[in-house]
């Protein structure tokens, strides 16, 4: 005996369309949420950067604060530039493609790794590595602040 699908067993007609059709208004709402999400993520990363720099300064002094700032900026600056590039795609006449996103993400990570290597090579004795790494990690995980505040887009 052959099994029946759920729709056949309950005599429910299958009315689900094969293609999702979005109106211009739907696209505008989705694009607006994406832009707001980018700004919120950057704001959360900036807040985490300030928090880590201040805590490092209070706990371990100026060299630790400078190290935390360098570590945080090593991720924040390339990420902010990448976000600006994505935002230009929203406002420009030509939309960004998925290839643009992946190439931009790869370049961003390459810049971050290059800054870390440069800091390791030229940092000298004044660099406080725990503060540097804490700054880097705090900015990388800045979205956790949005999760805690229930503000994730």
Task: Give the whole-angstrom CA distance, residue 118 versus residue 32.
Answer: 37
Task: Please provide the DSSP assignment of the chain as one string.
Answer: -PPPPHHHHTT------SS----HHHHHHHHHHHHHHHHHHHHHHHHHHHHHHHHHHHHH-HHHHHHHHHHHHHHHHHHHHHHHHHHHHHHSSSPPPHHHHHHHHHHHHHHHHHHHHHHHHH--TT--HHHHHHHHHHHHTTHHHHHHTT---
Check whether 8 has a pLDDT greater than 60: no
Confidence tier at 16 by pLDDT (50, 70, 90)? low
DSSP-derived letter for residue 62 is H
DSSP-derived letter for residue 128 is -
Instruction: Quick: pLDDT tens for 59-110.
Output: 999 999 999 999 999 999 999 998 888 877 767 666 667 788 888 889 999 9
């Amino acid at each position: 005996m052959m099994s029946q699908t759920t729709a056949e067993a309950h005599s429910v007609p299958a009315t689900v369309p094969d293609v999702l059709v979005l109106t211009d208004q739907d696209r505008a709402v989705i694009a607006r949420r994406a832009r707001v999400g980018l700004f919120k993520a950057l704001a959360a990363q900036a807040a985490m950067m300030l928090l880590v720099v201040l805590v490092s300064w209070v706990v371990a002094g100026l060299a630790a604060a400078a190290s935390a700032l360098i570590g945080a900026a090593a991720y924040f600056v390339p990420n902010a530039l990448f976000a600006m590039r994505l935002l230009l795609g929203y406002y420009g006449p030509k939309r960004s493609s998925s290839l643009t996103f992946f190439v931009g993400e790869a370049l961003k990570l390459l810049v971050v790794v290059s800054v870390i290597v440069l800091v390791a090579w030229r940092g000298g004795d004044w660099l406080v590595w725990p503060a540097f790494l804490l700054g880097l990690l705090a900015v990388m995980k800045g979205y956790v602040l949005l999760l805690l505040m229930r503000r994730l887009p």
